[in-house]
Amino acid sequence: MPSQTSERPVKRSDAFARRGPVKHGEEHHLDETKRGGRERPHVLLARVVPYLAILASFIATLLYVRLYGVDVFYADEWDLVPLLRESSRGTLGITDLLAHHNGHVYLFPWSLMLLLGRLTGYDTVPLMYLVVACLLVTSLAVFHAYARSVGRSPLACLVFLPVPLLLFSLRQHENLLWGNQITFAFAQSLSVLALYLLFATTEGRRRKLAFPAAALCATVASCSAAPGLLAWPAGLVLLIISPAGIKPVSRLYAGAWGLLGAAVWIAYLAGSGGTEPQPFSAFGHPAAWAEYLITLSGGSLFWGEDAVLTVGTLLVLLAAAALALALAFGKAGENAFWISLGVFSLLSLALIAAGRSGFGEEAFAQAGVSRYAIFSIPGVVALYCLLANLTLNAGSRFAAGLLVPLAAAMLAGAVISYSLGTEAGRKIEDSREQAARILVAHETEPLTAFTIFGHDPRRVQSYARYLDRHDYGVFSARSSGTNSGSGVRKNR
């Protein structure tokens, strides 16, 4: 190679030819003018196959919602009814939307529910489709980060294929079939998008737009569910360890990010009041908390109580080994996105464990429930992509030895999730249809029948009368003649 080639590192075409680190900002593709036309089909494959995998997983999940989604308010969704009352009276204020609910602030999800409800008659099924759309945003952000840090060679694209299967896994079926879980979906997808936008701040031409966009995403995530707050510390980790972190402008961004995050945290905690649960009380029982945390981690892949604890333990050990390898190879900066994504996932699970591990045998607080998988899955994805980088770009055989069994576990978990997720979807469908029938006949049903809604039966009975008077939810379906026999609305 001529010596003058090294004077232009950004334009070098041998980024993949050498076995050393691929510097952040270099082009992650081979120079087609040198390789000739024979490589073009591989380049096309590298560009198309990951998108096809994401699209196929997205469509399959949409079909899942179409098959098993039922329009009926359930559990925390009933807390939207008082807001509907205030809105109809013209007395709904920003303080009502900023009120804490079990430690969460639902400002943006509830605002969306109120706005979208005006168009849909407060049908909950469109919210389920929005949850799937959020998973699509997460998948696209993850792939673009993968293309920048690992590459878009045919082999890299093949290695990526288990990722969308896991991100759209039916292990999180409860989130997919419950409209209220748009709260968790916003917190997860917007946090991941915020981290990706911070990852993009190292490119000068996009820096000015990416940073404020990342701050906006993190703010919306913070006001969607409590785990969204953890986008701020995770983003700070990314900015500190990224290759550009030693530059003055990057230090400025890190300082600004820390100040913005501190302001959001202070405002969030100031509005919590004294009636919220104290999550840090769980740290008084560290063994129970740690077991709960590990079980949450294993719940990203498998379902059985014994299996998730074992898998969670193995994932923790794998993560420690992968991080040690990244430090040993000097690849921590290049993998700043994956490390920060893993930090976000870990902190989210730690927060959930702190808030739920002290509730004993309560069904909603069990570590194996599917709704929490939306925060454990990104951690597995981050671990997998970190190992992919170390295998393909650093040439680590040890990383390859860890990557293969993790890929097998991800694929096995995805296959199992489609089987068990379908079964769980049928059960949820049957339960929600029964709840919808009870709601339609609320005037003649006994109070005990309303326990099926997962909320205070007396309140549900009162709220049902309000929905009936205004033709909202299942009553909107009845008045429009949809499924005239039962009033249950399904999008089939």
C-alpha 439, offset from chain centre: 32
Please name which of 264, 260, 263 lies closest in space to residue 239, comparing C-alpha atoms.
Answer: 260
Confidence of residue 92 (pLDDT cuts 50, 70, 90): confident
Type and span of the H or E element at 59: helix 40-68
Task: Please give the pLDDT value at position 126.
Answer: 93
Query: For residue 4, is pLDDT > 60?
Result: no
Average pLDDT over residues 101-109: 88
Tokens of 133: 């759309």
CB atoms within 10 A of CB 121: 19
pTM to 2 decimal places = 0.86
Residues 367-403 pLDDT 10s: 678 889 999 999 999 999 999 999 999 888 999 999 9
Type and span of the H or E element at 356: helix 336-356
Q: How many residues does the chain have?
A: 492
Tokens of 138: 């997460």
Q: Which residues pair with 100 in a beta bridge?
A: 105
Q: How many helices (H) and strands (E) does the chain have?
A: 20, 2
Q: How far apart are CA 59 and CA 63, in angstroms?
A: 6
Residues 297-345 pLDDT 10s: 888 888 777 788 888 889 999 999 999 999 999 898 889 999 999 999 9
Query: For residue 3, is pLDDT > 50?
Result: no
Label the pairing between strands 104-105 and 100-101: antiparallel
Query: For residue 24, is pLDDT > 60?
Result: no
Task: Please give the pLDDT value at position 251.
Answer: 80
Name the burial class of residue 201, with classes exposed (0-12), middle (13-18) and buried (19+) by CB atoms within 10 angstroms of its CB: buried
The torsion angles phi and psi of 101, rounded to 5 degrees, stand at -130, 105
Q: Which residue has the tokens 């074992």?
A: 310
Query: For residue 45, is pLDDT > 90?
Result: no
Task: Please give the pLDDT value at position 68.
Answer: 95
Residue 65's contacts (CB-CB under 8 Å, 6 or more residues apart) are: 125, 128, 129, 131, 132, 176, 177
User: Both ends of the chain: CA-CA distance in Å?
Assistant: 63
Q: Which residues pair with 105 in a beta bridge?
A: 100
Task: Please give the pLDDT value at position 206.
Answer: 64
Residues 243-269 pLDDT 10s: 765 565 678 888 999 999 999 999 888
Q: Which residues pair with 101 in a beta bridge?
A: 104
Q: What does the mean pLDDT of the chain come to?
A: 82
Residues 110-163 pLDDT 10s: 999 999 888 888 899 999 999 999 999 999 999 999 998 998 888 899 999 999
Query: For residue 285, is pLDDT > 70?
Result: no
Per the CB < 8 A criterion, the answer to whether 150 and 195 are in contact is: no
Q: What amino acid is encoded at 290 in this protein?
A: A
Burial 467-485 (b: 16+ CB within 10 A, else e): bbeeebbbbbbbeeebbee
Q: How far apart are CA 462 and CA 47, in angstroms?
A: 54
Task: Please give the pLDDT value at position 235.
Answer: 94
Dihedral angle sign, alpha carbons of residues 477, 482, 484, 490: negative
Query: For residue 492, is pLDDT > 60?
Result: no
Task: Please give the pLDDT value at position 433.
Answer: 93
Residues 453-486 pLDDT 10s: 888 889 988 898 888 888 888 887 554 444 433 4
Query: For residue 91, is pLDDT > 90?
Result: no
Average pLDDT over residues 352-358: 76
